[in-house]
């Protein structure tokens, strides 16, 4: 387990910023505690300082996970964001898409959404923008590019 290097932090921030933009600094600098990113076995975990101190007592090969896994670095050092990060991306998302209840189930099973299944969408969303998909009851479902 180790902190991220400059290069790795930059790559990760660029990826996350596609979905939440400047709100990323709210993740880095939180009023209710010190949270940090740590790398363990090529995966990035977002963990509070308290839990980090506890996790430091576990040996590296026995430690499976800590805090929330945001994603992992692939072999070629690209960052792949995982679905476990959704809870932290959803509140800060800049561009949101709401899906009608009828299309929601099909979407969750991996199918595409037709235009008729689209409920609402934030305005000024450009093409190929990173968005967070919600259901009509404002439950975050996925994040997509």
Partner 1 sequence: MEGQSVEELLAKAERDEAEKLQRITVHKELELEFDLGNLLASDRNPPTGLRHAGPTQEAELRALARDNTQLLINQLWQLPTDRVEEALVARLPEPTTRLPREKPVPRPRPLTRWQQFARLKGIRPKKKTNLVWDEGSGQWRRRWGYQRARDDTKEWLIEVPGNADPMEDQFAKRIQAKKERVAKNELNRLRNLARAHKRQLPSAAGLHPTGHQSKEELGRAVQVAKVSTASVGRFQERLPKEKAPRVSGKKRKFQPLFGDFAAEKKSQLEMLRIMNSKKPQLDVTRATNKQMREEDQEEAAKRRKMSQKGKRKGGRQGPGGKRKGGPPSQGGTRKGGPPSQGGTRKGGPPSQGGKRKGGLGGKMNSGRPGLSGKRKGGQHQGGKRRK
Where along the sequence are the contacts to partner 1 (CB under 8 A)?
Answer: 1-3, 5-7, 9-10, 13-14, 17, 22, 24-25, 28-29, 34, 36, 38, 49, 52-53, 56
CB of 13 to partner 1, least distance (A): 6
Beta carbon nearer to partner 1, 24 or 133: 24
CA atoms within 13 A on the CB side of 48: 6
Start-end of H helices in the chain: 6-20, 24-28, 49-55, 86-89, 101-108
Beta strands, E only, 1-145 = 2-3, 35-40, 43-48, 68-73, 79-81, 96-99, 118-121, 131-135, 140-144
CB of 20 to partner 1, least distance (A): 11
Beta carbon nearer to partner 1, 12 or 133: 12
CB of 87 to partner 1, least distance (A): 20
CB of 81 to partner 1, least distance (A): 16
CA atoms within 13 A on the CB side of 132: 24
Beta carbon nearer to partner 1, 13 or 88: 13
């Amino acid at each position: 387990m180790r902190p991220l290097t400059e290069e790795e932090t930059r790559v990760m921030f660029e990826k996350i910023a596609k979905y939440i933009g400047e709100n990323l600094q709210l993740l880095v600098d939180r009023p209710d505690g010190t949270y940090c990113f740590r790398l363990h076995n090529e995966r990035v975990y977002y963990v509070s300082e308290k839990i980090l101190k506890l996790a430091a007592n576990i040996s590296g090969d026995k430690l499976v996970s800590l805090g929330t896994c945001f994603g992992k670095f692939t072999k070629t050092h690209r960052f792949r964001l995982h679905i476990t990060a959704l809870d932290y991306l959803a509140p800060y998302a800049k561009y949101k898409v709401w899906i009608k209840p009828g299309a929601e189930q099909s979407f969750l099973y991996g199918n595409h959404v037709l235009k008729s299944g689209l409920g609402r969408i934030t305005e000024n969303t450009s093409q190929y923008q990173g968005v967070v998909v919600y259901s009509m009851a404002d439950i975050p479902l996925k994040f997509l590019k």
